[in-house]
Amino acid sequence: MAPSREPGQTSGSQAQAQEQTQATPVGQTLAGTHHNTLFDAPRSSWSGKWAFILAAAASAVGLGNMWRFPYLAAKYGGGTFLLTYAVLVFTFGVSLLLLETALGRRTGQSAIGAFKAFGKKYAFIGVLASAIPFIITPYYCIIGGWVTKYAASYLTQGAGALADGGAFFGGFITGPIESYLWMGLFMLVTFVIVGLGVEGGIEKANLVMMPALIVMAIGIALFTLMQPGAAEGALYYLTPDFSKLSPELFIGALGQMFFSLSLAMGIMITYGSYLDKKESLTQSVVRVAGFDFGVSFLAGLVIVPAAFFALGSGQAVAAKSGPSLMFITLPQLFDTMGEAAAVVGFVFFLLVFFAALTSAISLTETCVSIVADKTGWSRKRSMATVIAVVGAAGILVNAGYNGLSFIEPLGAGSSLLDLFDFVSNSVMMPLAALLTCIFVGWIIKPKVLVEEVRQSSPFKAEKVWVVLVKYVAPLLVIVILIAYVAQQFGLLSV
């Protein structure tokens, strides 16, 4: 599933990279610097297209799908948001996924090396993208800890204890010790799996967790849909109402798409660099996007009708956005399910736990490979460094809810976690995406990547793709960037 790494074995992509060395100047710059990022053996390649798709999907499907997407869908008019999001994912999202994987496969490098391959002065784009996982991982693990605590509590305390209108959640995150322990536990599981290596840890974990996740998501969706009152909520979720289209809805959908597809932080470049030259890029990225969209759709199908039922209207659901929707409103709904309540609650949070864990693994792996790449250190030493940095940052951000809660970096009621989230998702990711599009569209020219795509499959949408990358994408990204910053200063509500 994952990169094969028998010592001495030349992987498909490596052989191709060598062929290219003779063919193009870019290949030549690569030949000397071509070194391994993740493994101690020669550069690896995925065992096949499906290995790549599963790993990319495991990275994409996470808290963004399970927690953020449903709340946005509820807030922005249900079906209207769903439809807008779908259109964006399968045009803009797929185009950017294709761009990043093609860039990775073309250069055979992870983010920094991939940009540097076209000239030293472009390396900063890779550096910017590579900094993002270091900011996201700590706070992602904090929310991962909350989810772990909830899954465990449904087992040990039953559904009633969690459905007390927010006291359970509030007491937990503001307490002095417990939230640190759950964050630590979540980090420990993540680090152990990453420590076991790509084949022994990550690949096996994905292989178990991803199918389990799909089965649980479908099961829970069916179950909640059979609850009384769910049909009305489902209708709200599935029926578009074009009078609800608004700039805010559009911008919200766009930002969500970046985060959910794990775009603009070098991950897809690295994953593309392990992909064999004979595997179709176009088909693979459409499948990754389809998988990610499918899970978001299911999560919405569980949470939107559930919240609708509990709160009575889309407006009320929207007002309960943020952490409270998953950690306060949903447990209240589960509690009404009688005998099944604890089981449903447990399975739901286990499902979210799996989604969060596979994403945290991919984030951590990216951090490790960046450190190893940059310093030339062994995987062990790089890993120890990442553990120290992520652990320390996690403690600091978590303190934002208790010991350091007087720090309100983005205005009253905001936390350090909000700041980390804002800086990475709303500022750095759009900026990295903008620079990447300008780099490909105007500096190296889309043709370079079009050729890369054509190595493995026909590229029917080539013309549309080029227009998207050169003009549409940069414009849209500028819009998100300005909108998000404006929102922070209270000029717009997104």
Residue pointed to by tokens 């370079």: 448
Restricting to residues 134-173, which ones interact with ligand PHE according to CB under 6 A?
136
Strand runs labelled E in 163-298: none
For residue 166 the two structure tokens come to 């927010």
- 260 lines the binding site for ligand PHE (CB under 6 A): yes
Kindly tell me which of 76 and 259 has the beta carbon lying closer to ligand PHE: 259
| Least distance from ligand PHE to the Cβ atom of residue 208, Å | 19
Kindly tell me which of 292 and 335 has the beta carbon lying closer to ligand PHE: 292
CB contact at 8 A, 13 and 277: yes
| Least distance from ligand PHE to the Cβ atom of residue 169, Å | 20
Residue pointed to by tokens 């190296």: 444
Restricting to residues 179-218, which ones interact with ligand PHE according to CB under 6 A?
none
Kindly tell me which of 310 and 432 has the beta carbon lying closer to ligand PHE: 432
- 108 lines the binding site for ligand PHE (CB under 6 A): no
Name which position in 362, 382, 398, 426 contacts ligand PHE (CB under 6 A).
362
Q: Enter the DSSP assignment of 93.
A: I
Kindly tell me which of 56 and 163 has the beta carbon lying closer to ligand PHE: 56
Q: Enter the DSSP assignment of 157.
A: T
Name which position in 109, 130, 190, 262 contacts ligand PHE (CB under 6 A).
262
For residue 299 the two structure tokens come to 């999560």
- Considering only the stretches 57-65, 215-223, 333-341, 470-478, report the one whose residues sit in contact with ligand PHE under the rule CB under 6 A: 57-65
- 481 lines the binding site for ligand PHE (CB under 6 A): no
Q: What share of the chain is helix, strand, coil (3-state, %, to 5)?
A: 80, 0, 20
Name which position in 3, 27, 62, 233 contacts ligand PHE (CB under 6 A).
62
Where would I find the H helices in 320-340?
323-324, 330-334
- Considering only the stretches 18-26, 37-45, 189-197, 261-269, report the one whose residues sit in contact with ligand PHE under the rule CB under 6 A: 261-269
d(CA 273, CA 133): 18
| Least distance from ligand PHE to the Cβ atom of residue 342, Å | 26
Q: What number of chain residues touch ligand PHE (CB under 6 A)?
A: 15
Q: Among 26, 27, 7, which Cα is nearest to 17's?
A: 27
For residue 302 the two structure tokens come to 């569980």
d(CA 474, CA 476): 6
| Least distance from ligand PHE to the Cβ atom of residue 336, Å | 28
- 363 lines the binding site for ligand PHE (CB under 6 A): yes
- 433 lines the binding site for ligand PHE (CB under 6 A): no
Element (H, E) at 250: helix 247-260
For residue 247 the two structure tokens come to 């700039």
Across 144-156, b (16+ Cβ under 10 Å) vs e yields: bbbbbbbbbbbee
Across 319-333, b (16+ Cβ under 10 Å) vs e yields: ebbebbbbbbbbbbb
- 426 lines the binding site for ligand PHE (CB under 6 A): no
| Least distance from ligand PHE to the Cβ atom of residue 71, Å | 13
Name which position in 59, 84, 153, 364 contacts ligand PHE (CB under 6 A).
59
CB contact at 8 A, 396 and 223: no
Residue pointed to by tokens 């094969």: 4
Name which position in 1, 38, 51, 60 contacts ligand PHE (CB under 6 A).
60
For residue 324 the two structure tokens come to 């409270």
- 259 lines the binding site for ligand PHE (CB under 6 A): yes
Name which position in 267, 357, 370, 449 contacts ligand PHE (CB under 6 A).
267
Residues that bind ligand PHE (CB under 6 A): 59-60, 62-65, 136, 259-260, 262, 265, 267, 359, 362-363
